[in-house]
């Protein structure tokens, strides 16, 4: 049977239920995974609608289709998320963050250790993060160690080893930094209560821990154990100090997620803020490389699902730039127009933009040629140029109170300043403050000389000025027979508007 006809039979048999579909190529490899409210309708749409160039390439490679039916759209999205992470199909987008960001790990072991790591190992340990701001993570770990005596050693504290008295307490015990579980001086139940409090602090639920510490302090005081009560009081003061350093938004906003998108043609940059008890306790940004011209709504839904799973969020409210067509039980979306929630959304969008700029800086340092090429390609696309603007020349003119007319030209070669080709012009043929005539003169002089000396011409000319200066420059190019051979634009200072001839 022909592959296309075989696919038609497969599509005809797909039910109208929510679920996940998988596309396979002729080698049996998964090339795309998607989710749908209605599997039949969604899969059929790939083969019925007018497709973009990228989608055509995908459809041509589909040799087989498989699907998994689930109970709800939410289940479909969660399953899709897990399958994409497991198989990483070629045509699926992945939320990419900086792999060097550290996590806080609660190790899966008796009397768990708590430490920072950049390696996430699937061994049952709990990981919180990643933390883009290492200082915040370090402050948090310091607070945890000041609040609670947690072991820092790597001893295997199994019940059998402790019973055999295999270990001896160390200096950390005598300094008060550990309660000596290695010698059985602290039970696993007591230690687990400490870990429970640590989890709440990492999640930003400081209020719950404060309540418990207050109860402990009162209990010690009622038993006249004033030294222990004082120790708990000092821990409460540490919590207050840490909380005061958090980014406070509003005491009225509690347990809220914020997700925003900064969109560009080839990629989107998404930021997540976790707000607890009126303060931002977590911020994380990711980059999404677009593969099939995904819509902003698709990207937002993907990000919301991923962030809530990754950061174990149960927030009943999500602040977003627009409301997605995706229902999460017991959760409402808010698209704020003003007030503290709008301020939060703006802050999230600002973080997404900064993340994008930071990535660009890093890539420029690692691979400057690739970064320069990207800039030139973007310019070529935006200005609809026939060639890459490898050489750009920019002109501006000026005068002092109507006299001493001068002009300057700067050159960029492969997106970098080429200072050896900078030029200064004294205006010779124009009397008085006539910016248009001055511009016409310097453009004529510059390119008349390049033609006479048989030197290469730039691919792009940028005039600092509006329609008037641009018109004067175009007039010069026309006289030299260069109009249409070099792209030329004007940039008006007032609103940074770009003018074309």
CA distance linking residue 277 with residue 170, whole number of Å:
39
Tokens 């790597």: give the residue: 154
Confidence label for 97 from pLDDT (cuts 50, 70 and 90): low
- Reduced to 3 states (helix: H, G, I; strand: E, B; else coil), residue 410 is strand
Tell me which range, 73-87, 115-129, 295-309, 356-370, is most confidently predicted by mean pLDDT: 295-309
- Average pLDDT on 83-94 reads 82
CA 169, distance to chain mean position in Å, is 45
- Look up residue 3 and give its two tokens: 């592959």
- Average pLDDT on 130-140 reads 72
Is residue 371 included in any domain, yes or no? no
Does residue 211 surpass a pLDDT of 60? yes
- Average pLDDT on 365-393 reads 86
Claim to verify: residue 240 and residue 296 sit in the same structural domain = no
Is residue 374 included in any domain, yes or no? no
CATH number at residue 424: 3.30.420.340
Cβ atoms of 427 and 444 within 8 Å: the answer is no
User: CB under 8 Å, gap of 24 or more: what pairs does 47-53 form?
Assistant: 47/7, 47/8, 47/11, 52/292, 52/293
Claim to verify: residue 313 and residue 356 sit in the same structural domain = yes
**Strand runs labelled E in 47-98:** 64-69, 95-96
Angle at 348 between CA 345 and CA 349, to 5 degrees: 90
For the chain, give the mean pLDDT: 84
Domain count, the chain: 4
Percentage of the chain exceeding pLDDT 90: 28
Structural domain boundaries enclosing 456: 384-499
Claim to verify: residue 80 and residue 176 sit in the same structural domain = no
CA distance linking residue 95 with residue 109, whole number of Å:
30
CA distance linking residue 205 with residue 214, whole number of Å:
15
Residue 85: count other Cβ atoms within 10 Å of its Cβ: 14
**Strand runs labelled E in 337-476:** 391-400, 403-413, 416-417, 423-426, 460-464
Q: What is the DSSP letter of 494?
A: T
- Average pLDDT on 157-161 reads 89
CA distance linking residue 296 with residue 268, whole number of Å:
8
Claim to verify: residue 134 and residue 235 sit in the same structural domain = yes
Claim to verify: residue 215 and residue 242 sit in the same structural domain = yes
Confidence label for 337 from pLDDT (cuts 50, 70 and 90): very high
- Look up residue 79 and give its two tokens: 């399953």
Is residue 373 included in any domain, yes or no? no
Percentage of the chain exceeding pLDDT 70: 90
- Average pLDDT on 47-67 reads 78
Last residue of a domain, one of 67, 92, 117: 92
* Cβ contacts of 472 within 8 Å, gap of 6 or more: 436, 437, 439, 440, 443
Claim to verify: residue 195 and residue 227 sit in the same structural domain = yes
Tokens 């490679």: give the residue: 61
Cβ atoms of 123 and 108 within 8 Å: the answer is yes
* Cβ contacts of 429 within 8 Å, gap of 6 or more: 437, 441
Claim to verify: residue 305 and residue 400 sit in the same structural domain = no
Q: Where are the alpha helices (DSSP H) in 62-108?
A: 73-87
Residue 330: count other Cβ atoms within 10 Å of its Cβ: 6
Does residue 498 surpass a pLDDT of 90? no
Is residue 126 included in any domain, yes or no? yes
Tokens 């250790």: give the residue: 113
- Average pLDDT on 245-264 reads 76
Residue 432: count other Cβ atoms within 10 Å of its Cβ: 10
- Average pLDDT on 321-347 reads 89
- Average pLDDT on 48-52 reads 63
Is residue 370 included in any domain, yes or no? no
Does residue 249 surpass a pLDDT of 80? no
The count of C-alpha atoms lying within 13 angstroms of the C-alpha of 161, restricted to the half-sphere facing its C-beta, is 11
Q: Measured between alpha carbons, how far is residue 15 from residues 20, 40, 180, 198, 383 in Å?
A: 11, 6, 60, 46, 47
- Look up residue 418 and give its two tokens: 């080429």
- Average pLDDT on 433-438 reads 84
Last residue of a domain, one of 70, 92, 114: 92
Cβ atoms of 395 and 461 within 8 Å: the answer is yes
User: Over the stretch 217-237, which tens digit does the pLDDT of each residue have?
Assistant: 898 888 888 888 888 888 787
Is residue 372 included in any domain, yes or no? no
Confidence label for 243 from pLDDT (cuts 50, 70 and 90): low
Q: Which of 405, 412, 417 is nearest to 460 (CA)?
A: 412
Q: 206 or 397: whose pLDDT is higher?
A: 397
Is residue 379 included in any domain, yes or no? no
Q: What is the pLDDT of residue 3?
A: 47
CA distance linking residue 247 with residue 19, whole number of Å:
40
Claim to verify: residue 108 and residue 75 sit in the same structural domain = no
- Look up residue 8 and give its two tokens: 């038609």
- Average pLDDT on 405-433 reads 88
Tokens 């051979």: give the residue: 485
CA distance linking residue 359 with residue 289, whole number of Å:
13
Does residue 33 surpass a pLDDT of 50? yes
Cβ atoms of 137 and 131 within 8 Å: the answer is yes
CATH number at residue 85: 3.40.1440.10
Pairing of strands 416-417, 423-426: unpaired
Claim to verify: residue 33 and residue 159 sit in the same structural domain = no
Q: What is the pLDDT of residue 2?
A: 46
Does residue 446 surpass a pLDDT of 90? yes
C-alpha torsion 473→478→480→482, nearest 10 = 90
Is residue 97 included in any domain, yes or no? no
CA distance linking residue 260 with residue 254, whole number of Å:
18
Claim to verify: residue 178 and residue 310 sit in the same structural domain = no
> Is the Cα dihedral 176, 182, 185, 187 positive or negative?
positive
- Average pLDDT on 412-431 reads 89
Confidence label for 461 from pLDDT (cuts 50, 70 and 90): very high
Claim to verify: residue 270 and residue 329 sit in the same structural domain = yes
Q: 452 or 208: whose pLDDT is higher?
A: 452
Does residue 362 surpass a pLDDT of 60? yes
Cβ atoms of 352 and 291 within 8 Å: the answer is no
CATH number at residue 287: 3.30.420
Does residue 1 surpass a pLDDT of 70? no
Q: What is the pLDDT of residue 91?
A: 86
User: Over the stretch 276-293, which tens digit does the pLDDT of each residue have?
Assistant: 766 777 778 888 888 777
Cβ atoms of 43 and 14 within 8 Å: the answer is yes
Last residue of a domain, one of 59, 92, 125: 92
Claim to verify: residue 109 and residue 240 sit in the same structural domain = yes
DSSP letter string, 257-291: EEEEEEE-SSEEEEEEEEEETTEEEEEEEEEEE-S
Does residue 124 surpass a pLDDT of 90? no
């Amino acid at each position: 049977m022909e592959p296309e006809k075989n696919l038609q039979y497969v599509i005809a048999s797909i039910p109208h239920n929510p679920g996940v579909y998988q596309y396979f190529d002729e080698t049996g490899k998964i090339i795309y995974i998607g989710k749908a409210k209605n599997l039949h309708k969604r899969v059929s749409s790939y083969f019925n609608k007018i497709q973009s160039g990228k989608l055509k390439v995908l459809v041509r490679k589909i040799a087989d289709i498989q699907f998994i039916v689930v109970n709800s759209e939410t289940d479909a999205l969660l399953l899709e998320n897990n399958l994409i992470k497991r198989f990483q199909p070629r045509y699926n987008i992945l939320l990419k963050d900086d792999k060097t960001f550290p996590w806080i790990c609660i190790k899966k072991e008796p009397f768990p250790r708590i430490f920072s790591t950049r390696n996430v190992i699937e061994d049952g340990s709990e990981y919180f993060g990643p933390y883009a701001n290492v200082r915040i993570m370090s402050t948090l770990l310091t607070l945890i160690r000041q609040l609670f005596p947690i072991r820092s050693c790597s001893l295997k504290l199994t019940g059998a080893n402790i019973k055999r008295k295999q270990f001896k307490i160390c200096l950390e015990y005598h300094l008060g930094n550990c309660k000596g579980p290695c010698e059985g001086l602290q039970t696993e139940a007591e230690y687990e209560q400490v870990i429970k409090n640590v989890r709440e602090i990492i999640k930003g639920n400081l209020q719950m821990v404060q309540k418990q510490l207050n109860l402990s302090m009162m209990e010690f005081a009622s038993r006249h154990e004033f030294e222990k009560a004082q120790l708990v009081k000092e821990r409460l003061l540490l919590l207050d100090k840490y909380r005061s350093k958090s980014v406070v938004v509003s005491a009225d906003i509690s347990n809220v997620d914020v997700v925003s998108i900064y969109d560009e043609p080839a990629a989107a940059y998404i930021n997540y803020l976790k707000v607890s008890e009126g303060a931002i306790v977590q911020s994380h940004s990711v980059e999404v490389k677009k593969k099939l011209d995904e819509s902003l709504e698709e990207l937002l839904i993907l990000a919301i699902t991923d962030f809530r799973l990754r950061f174990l969020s149960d927030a009943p409210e999500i602040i977003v730039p627009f409301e997605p067509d995706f229902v999460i039980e017991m959760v409402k979306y808010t698209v704020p127009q003003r007030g503290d929630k709008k301020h939060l959304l703006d802050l999230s969008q600002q973080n997404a933009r900064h993340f994008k700029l930071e990535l660009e800086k890093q890539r420029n340092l690692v691979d400057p040629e690739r970064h320069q090429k990207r800039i030139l390609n973007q310019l070529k696309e935006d200005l609809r140029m026939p060639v890459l603007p490898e050489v750009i020349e920019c002109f501006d003119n000026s005068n002092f109170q109507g006299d001493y007319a001068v002009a300057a030209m700067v050159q960029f070669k492969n997106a970098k300043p080429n200072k050896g080709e900078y030029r200064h012009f004294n205006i010779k043929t124009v009397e008085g403050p006539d910016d248009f005539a001055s511009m016409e003169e310097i453009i004529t002089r510059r390119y008349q000389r390049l033609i006479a000396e048989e030197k290469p011409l730039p691919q792009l000319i940028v005039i600092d000025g509006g329609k008037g200066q641009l018109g004067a420059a175009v007039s010069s190019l026309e006289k030299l027979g260069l109009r249409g051979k070099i792209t030329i634009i004007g940039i008006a200072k007032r609103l940074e508007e770009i003018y074309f001839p």
